[in-house]
Structure 1
Amino acid sequence: MRLLLVTLVCLVGLAPALASDLLIVTEEFPPYNYQEDGKAKGMSVEVVEAVLDEIGEEAEFVFYPWARSYLTAQNRKNTLIFSIGRIPEREDLFDWVGVIAPFNTSFYKLASNGAIEIGTLDDAKHYSVGVSVKDVIYQYLKGQNFTNLKVVGEDILNIRKLAHGRLDLIAFDEASFAHRVAQEELEPLLFRQVYRLEDLSGDLYMAFNKDSDPDLVERFRSGLRTIKENGRYDEILMRYQLMN
């Protein structure tokens, strides 16, 4: 597998063009994509790397806060973004390559807060809900007319705020929630999963800027199909215990 450069860049401006013109942007979203000792890690990272190997392409992985990755992918051609949820509000904003990981999203509360009971999505509208700016959960809940969203720039801040009782609920990817709680050295029993958001459960994707080279996009689609057909994709999912 080729050496992939991983760079944590400054937080102003859009990403510079690379010699190859292909740029890959993502965020800290373990266990799907994250940095460890300066290297890109995670299930989705491995899938993208496998596709790059398959098509003989090289690229830089750039880690931004999600809002900036999202903006970069919308404004710079030949930019690939992952792991991204596919919802109607985003359908026409990107050129979608394909599914790279399964995921599930749920509301979480403090286990000690017996006053909160969620049986329907509308029930959650009565409580403060922590979300991250511009991510798929924020966009979905806003589209469902939630008026009590408390927006932060990074996912981890919501877990910290919930742990200190500064939020009633947070909406979070289930695999990422477990990973983040362990990273923060918090007791898992401090929290309780109270309601799964089925509309935000299913698959994560990789997608290109709409003005990207059609041949480049099709090569990525072909590479993704190939690693799914030859078993490499399933091998990656099995190692992360994220099979559908």
Structure 2
Amino acid sequence: MSSAEGIALRSLLHCCLSALLLGVWPPLSSSAEALRLFSQEYPPVNFSRDGEPVGMAVDVVRELARRSGQPITLEVVPWARAYREALALPNAGLFVAMRTAEREPLFQWVGPITVNITSFYGLTRSAPSIDSLDDARHHGEIAVPREWYSHQLLLAEGFTNLHPVPGPDMVVQMLKHGRVRLMVMDNLGLSAYLARGGLREGEVKLLFSFLRSYSYIAFSSETDPSLVARWQDELDGMKRDGSFAAIHHQWLPGQEMPGLRAQP
């Protein structure tokens, strides 16, 4: 090895050691394999507009990819497909997903991205009185998005009067047309889904909140753990420097913002 090569090697080793000690991540190679990231129609957090993914979480994910130098592809697909792909594929992820005890060992998690409050809702003109989960069991069928975390939780609670449907748009339609007296919805998507279903917010009444949860980016178990760790560090950095708050306020004004690395 020539003296010039030795100097270059020592310089490279010094830079790498300094990066490790200071927690500074070098940019990924532009030839790195693109992450495949899937999301669903869940406005205003993630959804499609004119065929392009947009929303609060989409802006966060794009900024995380920029900061880490990681190429990505984004696809908005039905929830069942998004979940299946993120579960099985290497270098893949799903956002946003609720971090539940059942899902915990299936994915690697980066977040939290949002704070969600899930509740029972009814039409204001005919809403029953509900003060507990037990009350909700006695008011006929309850419309709930199939295989959402809220559906899974209520099944685990022994509910036998659930009417699962393909998505929240149909949940709103069932309530609007009187096919059910109750629907399950979370606070972040409520306004958008009511508007899409032709209901004003004043026509729907919050009856009982039963679940507080955090959403995350869920990476497949086959994704490189060091990449996942880097995305978590970059997300924490966004929360410290205020850029996360700016995105959150733009899309979710007045809603609670998550802190650093909240637990499921």
Fold shared per TM-score above 0.5: yes
AA aligned to 1:211 is E
Unpaired runs of at least 5, structure 1: 1-18
- 1:67, 1:135 within 8 Å by CA — same for their partners in 2? no
Write out aligned runs for 1:1-244 (5 A). Answer: 20-114=33-127, 116-126=128-138, 127-197=140-210, 200-239=211-250, 240-241=252-253, 242-244=255-257
Distance 1:123 1:71 in 2: 34
AA aligned to 1:75 is A
TM-score, with structure 2 as normaliser:
0.80
- 2:168, 2:193 within 8 Å by CA — same for their partners in 1? no
Q: Alpha-carbon deviation of 1:20?
A: 2.4
Aligned residues: 223
Per-residue CA deviation, residues 117-141 of structure 1 (Å, 9 max, x unaligned), is: 2110111122311111221111111
Distance 1:213 1:132 in 2: 32
Distance 1:229 1:77 in 2: 30
Per-residue CA deviation, residues 137-166 of structure 1 (Å, 9 max, x unaligned), is: 111111111111111112110001110001
Unpaired runs of at least 5, structure 2: 1-31, 258-264
Q: Alpha-carbon deviation of 1:101?
A: 1.4
TM-score, with structure 1 as normaliser:
0.86
- 1:234, 1:243 within 8 Å by CA — same for their partners in 2? no
Q: Alpha-carbon deviation of 1:227?
A: 1.0
Q: Which has the larger radius of gyration?
A: 2
- 1:163, 1:190 within 8 Å by CA — same for their partners in 2? no
- 1:94, 1:207 within 8 Å by CA — same for their partners in 2? yes
- 2:99, 2:213 within 8 Å by CA — same for their partners in 1? no
